Amino acid sequence: MTQTKGTLYKGREGMWSWVGHRITGVGIFFFLLVHVLDTSLVRVSPEAYDAVIGAYKNPIMIMGEIGLVGAIVFHAFNGLRIILVDFWSKGTRYHKQMLWAVMGLWVIVMIGFTARHVMLFLDGWGGF
Amino acid sequence: MSTPTKEAAEPASKIDMKESGGGGEVPSFEITLQVRRYDPEFSDEARWDEWKLTMYGTDRVLDALHKVKWNIDGSLTFRRSCAHGVCGSDAMRINGRNRLACKVLLKDLDTSKPIMVEPIKGLPVEKDLIVDMEPFFQSYREIMPFMVNNSPAPTAERLQSPEDRERFDDTTKCILCAACTSSCPVFWTDGQYFGPAAIVNAHRFIFDSRDDAGDMRLEVLNDKEGVWRCRTTFNCTDACPRGIEVTKAIQEVKRAVLSRSM
Ligand code: HEM
Ligand code: SF4
Ligand code: FES
């Protein structure tokens, strides 16, 4: 009576990992499109390329890049989990445990990457 | 349109079961039941109705629906037949998940919040909790859910070893309730997808050593709308009231399609 819409289906680990996989997959696709375009600039004009790539070196882009790497890392590890669900005969029984492993690996990789990335940014990308 | 029921007040709480000892009062508790209702004769819009009910420890969601239908609002419409988890008539969405109303005890739900009941998703709603099951059974028929054996009929049974029988035991348990198919995000957006239940029932024959039409079924399911639509969300496995490992069965059929074409 107060609500007019139906409720959201309460799926569990499997459903949310799929939602995450699709969102990160589509997200990576669009970023890659942009990235292929800006990288191809180097053939048009190296100066324009430097200017565009220079725009990556600010805090907002740093956050964005961390987000992007986070999406790729999740998509890659979860992609391996899906492959195991597909081809390992016991995969369907252990899909939840494998998802926890994916999340664990994701946290470890992201701590490492974020630390290095922020450090390099603060150092002014010496050597890059 | 909430119409509180007036029943003799029962003081005992549902937790304190001690008071029921010695043939005393049966303890009861209060619930709020919300049902998603739709009646195209009156409105194109679905709406929520709410009732406060006094229920007992052995009552299931189905009993609450019965109480409303029999005592308060006879127009409440839902399917049920056996009331014991055998016929597969009363799959519905209870607190956001597909369940059989006759297998969910009210005491196992959080009764401090309203219990929300909706029709299963992805099939056209006809009235209240009743959906049109025809697309579901259409897919079921297409996988040829019957034994095909081309050898001459023996004079006695067609014997099968316990190991061969075990191979497809899990998928023999299906009661065609549609809880799995209507829990699938792929099916919600693509009603053409065969859906988990059809694949489960194909599995039941594909892996039956006495059956000769496995290849034909694999061909049917190798379709664009067949097994390859499955994204392994496991909603079907979580929803199945018979505890069938639905996703496992689908994956086995996928692998059978692959190894057959290789
Ligand atoms: C890093 C290596 C990668 C691995 C191991 C991987 C793995 C996978 C797998 C196994 C699937 C199938 C998902 C399913 O069956 O539900 C998938 C889907 C997908 N991937 Fe990737 N992928 C990778 C990289 C990428 C990249 C770079 C992109 C973007 C261009 C991408 C975009 C997608 C999209 C859009 C889907 C569809 C998601 C869906 O159907 O729900 N993937 N990926
Ligand atoms: S597999 Fe389970 S959920 Fe699906 S129709 Fe059969 S009994 Fe219902
Ligand atoms: S009424 Fe038969 S399964 Fe619930």
Q: What digits encode the pLDDT tens for the residues A76-92?
A: 999 999 999 999 999 99
Q: What digits encode the pLDDT tens for the residues B161-191?
A: 999 999 999 999 999 999 999 999 999 999 9
Q: What digits encode the pLDDT tens for the residues A11-69?
A: 999 999 999 999 999 999 999 898 888 888 888 888 988 888 888 888 888 898 899 99
pLDDT at B155: 93
pLDDT at A3: 44
pLDDT at A26: 97
Closest atom, ligand 1, to C-alpha of B231: 16
pLDDT at B192: 96
| Separate counts of helices (H) and strands (E) for chain B | 8, 7
Alpha helices in chain B (DSSP H): 61-67, 134-142, 162-166, 185-189, 196-206, 214-221, 235-239, 246-261
If you ran DSSP here, which 8-state letter would residue B118 be given?
Answer: E
CB contact under 8 A, A15 and B95: no
Residue of B nearest to A1 (CA): B48
pLDDT at B110: 97
Give the 3-state secondary structure of residue B138: helix
Ligand 2 pocket member B239 (CB < 6 A): yes
pLDDT at B230: 98
CA dihedral over B194, B195, B199, B200, signed as positive or negative: negative
Domain A16-124 sits in CATH at 1.20.1300
CB contact under 8 A, A18 and B248: no
- Which secondary-structure segment (H or E) carries A85? helix A59-87
CB atoms within 10 A of CB B156: 6
Closest atom, ligand 2, to C-alpha of B236: 3
Q: Is A36 on the interface with B (CB under 8 A)?
A: no
Measuring CA to CA, which residue among B30, B100, B98 is closest to residue B62? Answer: B100
Is residue A2 over pLDDT 50?
no
Name the residue ranges covered by the structural domains of chain A. 16-124
Point out which residues pair with B127 in neighbouring strands.
B130
Residues with CB under 6 Å of ligand 3 are: B 80-83, 85-90, 100, 102
- Whole-angstrom CA distances from B229 to A115, B81, B180, B192, B204 are 40, 32, 14, 10, 20
* B117, B61 contact by CB (below 8 A): yes
Measuring CA to CA, which residue among B129, B97, B95, B101 is closest to residue B115? Answer: B95
pLDDT at B6: 59
Hunting for tokens 């988990």 — which residue is that? B196
Query: What pTM does this model have?
Result: 0.88
CB contact under 8 A, B233 and A18: yes
CB contact under 8 A, A92 and B46: no
- Report the separation in Å between the CA atom of B80 and the middle of ligand 3, taken as the mean of its atom positions: 5
Residue of B nearest to A93 (CA): B248
Q: What digits encode the pLDDT tens for the residues B8-29?
A: 666 665 665 555 556 667 789 9
Between CA A102 and CA A118 the distance in angstroms is 24
- Provide ipTM, 2 decimals: 0.87
Instruction: Output the CA angle B93-B177-A22, nearest 5 degrees.
Output: 60
Contact list, A93 vs chain B (CB under 8 Å): 245, 248
- Per-residue pLDDT band at A1 (split at 50, 70, 90): very low
Average pLDDT, consecutive stretches of 10 residues, N- to C-terminus, chain B (262 residues): 58 58 77 97 95 97 98 98 97 98 97 97 97 98 96 92 98 98 97 97 98 96 96 98 98 96 74
Q: How crowded is the C-beta side of A90, counted as CA atoms within 13 Å?
A: 3
